[in-house]
Structure 1
Amino acid sequence: MKYSNRNKAILLLADGTVFYGKSIGIEGTVFGEVCFNTGMTGYQEIFTDPSYFGQIMVASNAHIGNYGTNEEDVEADRVMISGLVCKNFSFNHSRVNSTEGLKEYFEKNNLVTISDVDTRALVSYIRDNGAMNAAISTDGTSLEELKEQLAAVPNMDGLELSSKVSTKEPYFVGNPEAKYKVSALDLGIKKNILRNLVKRDCYVKVFPYNSTYEDLKSFNPDGYFLSNGPGDPAPLTGAQEVAKNILEENQPVFGICLGHQVLALANGIATYKMFNGHRGINHPVRNILTGKGEITSQNHGFAVVREDLEKNPEFELTHEHINDGTVAGMRMKNKNCFSVQYHPEASPGPHDASYLFDQFIENIEKAKN
């Protein structure tokens, strides 16, 4: 392939705005909600994060692909984003432990990618106008046809997507002789969450998103985990019922991202779709309990209504996003339950918040004694 003669490509936003670029060589047309990530590294982990399912990713970093890919740097067994928009796509890579180039990796996953886009202007436009549905096309589909097809794509608000990424059958992770047993509800779980639990001597049984509390309880766990995942938390009524049952029996439970939102909804605390969401590895969070700041990895387009949380006498706000004051963490005053909106497992991102996994283990120990 002559990279200098690449086909023209197009990005169409739902409001009719058009950006032009070039194809990296994979032909097709894809749809999804356009969003951007501000991370400078960790693109492979981002592309394989199940929380991004159904979204077209705009990489704000100017260079993508320059360090290739590695078989270990994945958060799921396949690419989860719908498509990629970037400025400079590197067809050559250089890293000691890389196994293949990003283009070859995308070819295996048939991921449509458009490069040579003015991503600085695009990110600025999304910031001003909000996340919206979009289409990227590299196969010559006309603008008129793209507009018709894009109009039929459902909005993320009200969309249930955990069923698209969750495991179909339960599976085990870790040492069967480990000190603790954890039942994890897979709403779109990341591999590094499981690694963090296993690292803390947990034997984890991962259950499909539509499992019942009785299913999770049958493992006779010491604690429960509600995972991250894509889409709107409101349609996940089954997961909310699981959360209610766990709390009724006052069992230790830890929720991350979508799991955090499910816990809120299970207690009558509303969630809402954000204008842009938080996606990146440098989001500042204040721990209200300690007064300390944390730099965190975040990936979410929905959030918990802070006013609802503060009105609920059974809950307390534990963390807040410093940039906009949104809910970043909460806990129940009389239950063994806490959750955060961000990703303490990082991958990619800083490890400032990894102590939350230790806190989960401490809660399990308290419940056992």
Structure 2
Amino acid sequence: VEAVDEVTMVPRFVESDRIQASALVVSEYSEDYSHWNAKMSLGNWLRKSGVPGVAGVDTRELTKIIRERGTMLARIKMDEIEPESPWVDPNQRNLVAEVATHGVRTFGPENDQTVPHLVIVDCGMKYNQLRSFLRRGLRVSVVPWDFNFADDIQYDGLFISNGPGDPQMAATTVNSLRKCLDGEKPIFGICLGHQLMALAGGFKTYKLKYGNRGHNQPCIDEFSGRCYITSQNHGFAVDASRPNCPPGWKPFFTNANDQTNEGLVHLSKPFFSVQFHPEACSGPHDTEYLFDLFMRLLDNSKIGVLDSLPITSLLMAKQDTVVKRVKKVILLGSGGLSIGQAGEFDYSGSQAIKALKEEGIRTVLINPNIATVQTSKGMADKVYFLPVTPDNVVKVAKNEKPDGILLTFGGQTALNCGIELHRQGIFKEMNIEVLGTPIEAILDTEYRDRFNQRLSEIDEPYAQSKACCTMEEVEDAGKTIGFPVILRAALALGGLGSGFADDM
């Protein structure tokens, strides 16, 4: 039984009410499954859903073919004697009509008229889009793609969801959207919703040779110049080139790889859209702020303030608060090492230095180890061969005056040093920003009680544990926790002295 999110009352771990893929092809498949939340194997889930799957295929070779020839039609043929079936191009079908909801559904505080009312047009919506709005306390009505939302429902804001296929197949949605664009109510679109808004606004769409897929698509914010890493899955794009951009609109984001359009914004009305998925459940979450931007537009719409602050002004304000130019960074190395030890710290730290230098950021390394890649000539701009201690970091910081500091590339020594500097208020006093993993996240993971508390807040299970100093305390802990238990000796390298106990 699928768990339900207690806040949103939406299924918690899936993005749709069924498997949407026509088939699954994998290189290798294991019959065994071990995920803590699994109720059945992948094969059984596919079988239950009536979706075919095939394993033992050279998927790397398939990838090479698609890479050279572009997106292709495909089918699974069971054997040579099976009769040939006709090729079917899914883009010739209205896929939106096949996957969208068929009725109107309501969520959130239904009777609270003080809360903004959002209408979501479901074109194949991912559940996390709905979750993202419900977590922000909205009243939500989800309507089908062909619902006359321009005339038959009152709302404070409109959201057009993602969905499959050619956007021109959803002409009914485009026609309703075109009426809404004549109004002043905020509108936000994601993925297919972006393409449908574009068509309604006078843009054209076209099919990409490959499509953009995956969790690492870089997109440039045209207002700030900042690059965001985004999650995408689409085969069509909007033509927003200068001669084809209708008056009143401006590109919002551009894909840094292929220069395709990744978002649009209206220059005077509260309308914007993005091609990527800011709500992607597995991340990245760099662009989730777009939901908060839309919330501000909704709040203004609810109280009738529509033209006091154009969306472009909000985006420029976002630029001022988000983009802070870092010019110099201190990176903390590890404690004293023997040659060959802790290669992961050396590798990750050296890669961090390279990445910072590529961005034009000066790097200052504190590392007492001479025989490492990090401390090699030509890596960091300046190296201090000093033990990684709070006193030494303060001395270096006073001399170098850095904008930021990285604490997570030197193992426990660097983490402990960073925690102590935080406790002393040094970072705040010297106006040094902790980059990468926030200090609060470090504290949460360093202290088991805090970590368990965070897990409890999101209803995640965790193993019971107890710190003991005497044999009596160990015996009491075993009785309280229950056998078997794992005993781990404190301050032991590599878990030496640890083991399992099945009984007293």
Scaled to the shorter chain, the TM-score interval is 0.7 to 0.9
Within-5 A mapping of 1:7-46: none
Consecutive unaligned residues in structure 1, runs of 5 or more: 1-70
> What displacement does 1:119 show?
1.0
Per-residue displacement from partner, 1:75-133 (whole Å, max 9, x unpaired)? 11110000011111121111222222111111111211111111111111101101121
Per-residue displacement from partner, 1:10-58 (whole Å, max 9, x unpaired)? xxxxxxxxxxxxxxxxxxxxxxxxxxxxxxxxxxxxxxxxxxxxxxxxx
Supply the RMSD in Å over aligned alpha carbons.
1.8
Within-5 A mapping of 1:250-329: 250-307=184-241, 311-329=245-263
1:154 aligned onto 2:85: no
**Paired residues of 1:270 and 1:308 also in contact (CA < 8 A):** no
1:346 aligned onto 2:280: yes
1:234 aligned onto 2:173: no
How far apart are the structure 2 equivalents of 1:308 and 1:286? 17
1:246 aligned onto 2:183: no
Question: Which residue identity is paired with 1:321?
Answer: N
Aligned sequence identity (%): 36
Shift in CA distance, 226/308, structure 1 to aligned 2, threshold 3 Å: farther
How far apart are the structure 2 equivalents of 1:294 and 1:277? 19
Shift in CA distance, 319/169, structure 1 to aligned 2, threshold 3 Å: same
Residue matched to 1:101:
41
Within-5 A mapping of 1:322-337: 322-337=256-271
| Bigger radius of gyration among the two | 2
The TM-score, its normalising length taken from structure 1, stands at: 0.75
Residue matched to 1:186:
122
**Paired residues of 2:116 and 2:299 also in contact (CA < 8 A):** no
1:212 aligned onto 2:137: no
**Paired residues of 1:310 and 1:317 also in contact (CA < 8 A):** no
SS of structure 2 residue aligned to 1:296: strand
Consecutive unaligned residues in structure 2, runs of 5 or more: 1-10, 306-504
> What displacement does 1:311 show?
3.1
How far apart are the structure 2 equivalents of 1:131 and 1:214? 35
Residue matched to 1:196:
132
Per-residue displacement from partner, 1:184-241 (whole Å, max 9, x unpaired)? 11111111000000011111100011111345x52x2110011110111112111111
Residue matched to 2:81:
142
**Paired residues of 2:150 and 2:177 also in contact (CA < 8 A):** no
> What displacement does 1:249 show?
1.2
Residue matched to 1:21:
none
SS of structure 1 residue aligned to 2:20: coil
Question: Which residue identity is paired with 1:184?
Answer: I
> What displacement does 1:155 show?
5.1
Name the one with the larger strand percent.
1
> What displacement does 1:174 show?
2.1
When structure 1 is superposed on structure 2, of 97-106 and 264-273 the one drifting more is 97-106
Question: Which residue identity is paired with 2:228?
Answer: E
How far apart are the structure 2 equivalents of 1:202 and 1:72? 18
**Paired residues of 2:239 and 2:261 also in contact (CA < 8 A):** yes
Q: 1:80 aligns with which of 12, 20, 27?
A: 20
Question: Which residue identity is paired with 1:306?
Answer: A
When structure 1 is superposed on structure 2, of 174-183 and 120-129 the one drifting more is 174-183
How far apart are the structure 1 equivalents of 2:173 and 2:80? 40
SS of structure 1 residue aligned to 2:163: coil
SS of structure 2 residue aligned to 1:313: coil
How far apart are the structure 1 equivalents of 2:93 and 2:208? 14
Question: Which residue identity is paired with 2:120?
Answer: A
Shift in CA distance, 173/359, structure 1 to aligned 2, threshold 3 Å: same
Residue matched to 1:30:
none
Shift in CA distance, 205/155, structure 1 to aligned 2, threshold 3 Å: closer
How far apart are the structure 2 equivalents of 1:198 and 1:358? 12
Per-residue displacement from partner, 1:298-332 (whole Å, max 9, x unpaired)? 01111001326763221101101111011111101
> What displacement does 1:175 show?
2.5
How far apart are the structure 2 equivalents of 1:237 and 1:111? 29
- How many residue pairs get aligned? The number is 291
Question: Which runs of at least 4 in structure 1 moved beyond 4 Å after TM superposition?
Answer: none
How far apart are the structure 1 equivalents of 2:277 and 2:165? 16
Question: Which residue identity is paired with 1:123?
Answer: T
**Paired residues of 1:281 and 1:296 also in contact (CA < 8 A):** yes
Residue matched to 1:133:
73
Shift in CA distance, 132/150, structure 1 to aligned 2, threshold 3 Å: farther
How far apart are the structure 2 equivalents of 1:141 and 1:185? 44
Question: Which residue identity is paired with 2:248?
Answer: E
1:116 aligned onto 2:51: no
**Paired residues of 1:297 and 1:346 also in contact (CA < 8 A):** yes
How far apart are the structure 1 equivalents of 2:72 and 2:120? 31
How far apart are the structure 2 equivalents of 1:287 and 1:236? 28
SS of structure 2 residue aligned to 1:92: coil
How far apart are the structure 2 equivalents of 1:299 and 1:286? 17
